[in-house]
Amino acid sequence: MPVIAVVGAQWGDEGKGKIVDLLAARAQVVARSQGGANAGHTIKRGGSRIILHLLPSGALSPDAQCLIGPGVVLDAGALLQELKELADLGISLKGRLTIDLRTHLVFPTHKLLEAQQETQLGNQKIGTTCRGIGPAYSDKAARRGVRLGDLLDKSRRLATCTALFDYHAALLEKIYHQPPLDRAPLLAEAEFWAEELASYAGDSVRKLREAVDRDQVVLLEGAQGTFLDLDLGTYPFVTSSHPTSGGPVVGIGLPPGKIDFVLGVLKAYCTRVGSGPFPTEMDDETAKLLRDRGAEYGATTGRPRRIGWLDLVAAKEAAQWNGVNGWALTKLDVLEKLPTLKVCSSYRIGDTILSGVPLTIQGWADAVPLYEELPGWEDGHEARDIDDLPDNARNYLAKIESYTGVPVHLISLGAGQEETILPRGELVQP
C-alpha cells in the first residue's frame, strides 16, 4: 500500500497529527499539498509536544523526504521559525525538504487584510485562523500572487513583491482606512526569505512522481477537514483550499489513480473551531467534560473548540466524497464513562428527512439532527487489542462501520503512539 492519503473527515482537528506521525515513521516521502500555517498538527515525542504548522510530519523522521506542493500557501516567516525550532531539537531538514518553486507566498499584508475583512464581517465573521490563508488564495486565483520562483528570481523579486504589496497597501488605505504602509521592511524581509529558502526550493511534483514510480511509501498529509473544503464544505464557513482526497491531485500533481488507500481520520465525537453550521453541537456539561478531557483547544490559535456528538450522516458523506478505504478512529478514550452516547443518524428539515448533508448554508442552519442513543462504557483506554475493548465500545465501532460502510483500520486511545489498536493489522508493513 505505498501511496496513502490521510484526510480529515470532519471539520479539522480530528487528530491527524498522531496518525500521520505513526505512518511517517514507515514512509520514505511525506507531502503536504494544500492549506498553510492554518494547520496545526500536534505530535507527542517523549515528554514534549511538537506542533507543526507547515512542515510535513515526516520532518520528525530523520530519513523521510518532505515535500511542500504548489497547492500550499507558504508563510515563509512561519516556516523558517519551524525549521529553527526543529534545529534546536537537533532535527535538520537540509537535503530532505523540497518546497515547490510554484508555491505561492503569504505576505504579512495578507494577514492585515484578513484581520480587516473579519472585523468588517462583524458577527458574520468566518472565525479564521488569521494566517492570511483566504487572502493569499484569493490573490493566487486572481493571478497576482507571488510564488517562490518569483522570490528567488532576482530579476522578478522586486517587481512582483512591490506590485502585490502596493495593491494590498491601497486596499488597506482606501477600503479599510488604515494608515499608509512602508514598503521597505517587506522588501527587506523578502530578501531574507529568498536567502534562507533558496536551498529548499525545487520541483516537488517531480520528486513525488519519482517516489511513486519507485514504489516508495508515500504519505499525503491532509490538513483541515472535509467540511472545510472550499467547494464541498459549509461555504462560506470554510477554508480556501481542498482538504479532500482530490487535494494532492491538484495541489502536488499526483495522478488520481495513484492513491492506493485513503485513510479517513474520524474523531469519535465532533469538534469545530470558528463560525459556521455544526448540527450536532452541544453546549452543556457533557461538552465541557469532553473539551477538557480531549484538550479541545486549537493547536494554531488556542481557541476552545465547539463540541458535538458524532455525526454519522456527515461521516458517510465524507467517506463517499473522499473514497475513504478505512477509518482511523481517534480519541475513543475521551468518550469513556459517559452513561449513554448519541450519534446523529439523519437530519430533518421541516417534514423532510435528508438523505445526506444539506447543500445550502440555510439548509445547514435549518437541519435538525436526529439521534440514536447507544450505551456507554467505563474503561477501555488501556486496551491494545480490539478484543480487550469493552463490548459497548466495540458496538460503537460496529455502528460506525455499518452506517458508513467503511471498516475501522486504526483506533487511537491517547496521544502516545503505543495507545493504538490496529484491528486489521499494519497499514504499512515494517
226 is a contact residue toward ligand IMP (CB under 6 A) = no
Residue list 405-424, contact with ligand IMP (CB under 6 A) = none
**By C-beta, is 114 or 150 nearer to ligand IMP?**
114
Contact 69, 54 (CB under 8 A): no
Which residue in this structure is represented by grid cell 478505512?
A: 326
Which cell numbers in the block locate residue 262? 485513503
6 is a contact residue toward ligand IMP (CB under 6 A) = no
Task: Kindly state the smallest distance separating residue 311's Cβ from ligand IMP, in Å.
Answer: 15
**Interface pick for ligand IMP out of 93, 126, 315, 413 (rule CB under 6 A):** 126
Rounded distance between C-alpha atoms, residue 351 and residue 328, angstroms: 35
Contact 151, 157 (CB under 8 A): yes
Concatenate the DSSP letters of all residues of 122-162 into one string. Answer: GGG------SSHHHHHHHHHTT---BHHHHH-HHHHHHHHH
Helix (H, G, I), strand (E, B) or coil at 206: helix
Task: Kindly state the smallest distance separating residue 274's Cβ from ligand IMP, in Å.
Answer: 2
Residue type (1 letter), 400: I
234 is a contact residue toward ligand IMP (CB under 6 A) = no
Whether 88 is a known active-site residue: answer no
| Beta strand spans in 135-244 (E) | 201-202, 218-221
**Interface pick for ligand IMP out of 224, 226, 234, 330 (rule CB under 6 A):** 224
Binding mask 261-280 for ligand IMP (x = CB under 6 A): ------------xx------
Q: Of 41, 53, 242, 409, which one is the catalytic site residue?
A: 41
131 is a contact residue toward ligand IMP (CB under 6 A) = yes
Rounded distance between C-alpha atoms, residue 337 and residue 333, angstroms: 9
Contact 340, 307 (CB under 8 A): no
Rounded distance between C-alpha atoms, residue 6 and residue 263, angstroms: 5
**Interface pick for ligand IMP out of 65, 128, 244, 412 (rule CB under 6 A):** 128
- List, in sequence order, every residue forming a beta bridge with 242; answer none if it has no partner: none
Strand pairing report for 326-330 and 261-267 = parallel
Whole-angstrom CA distances from 51 to 43, 192, 298, 428 are: 6, 24, 11, 24
Residue list 74-113, contact with ligand IMP (CB under 6 A) = none
**Interface pick for ligand IMP out of 25, 81, 115, 127 (rule CB under 6 A):** 127
**By C-beta, is 12 or 69 nearer to ligand IMP?**
12
13 is a contact residue toward ligand IMP (CB under 6 A) = yes
What does the angle CA 221 – CA 9 – CA 274 come to, to the nearest 5 degrees? 95
Task: Kindly state the smallest distance separating residue 89's Cβ from ligand IMP, in Å.
Answer: 22
Q: Please report how the helices 108-121 and 154-170 are oriented relative to each other, as an axis angle in degrees rounded to 10.
A: 20
Residue list 42-61, contact with ligand IMP (CB under 6 A) = none
Stretch that binds ligand IMP, among 122-130, 163-171, 325-333, 341-349 (CB under 6 A): 122-130
Position closest to ligand IMP via CB: 274
15 is a contact residue toward ligand IMP (CB under 6 A) = no
Whether 242 is a known active-site residue: answer no
Instruction: Please work out the total of residues on this chain that contact ligand IMP, with binding judged by CB under 6 A.
Output: 20
Catalytic amino acids?
13, 41
Binding site for ligand IMP (CB under 6 A): 12-13, 38-40, 126-129, 131, 133-134, 223-224, 228, 237, 239-240, 273-274
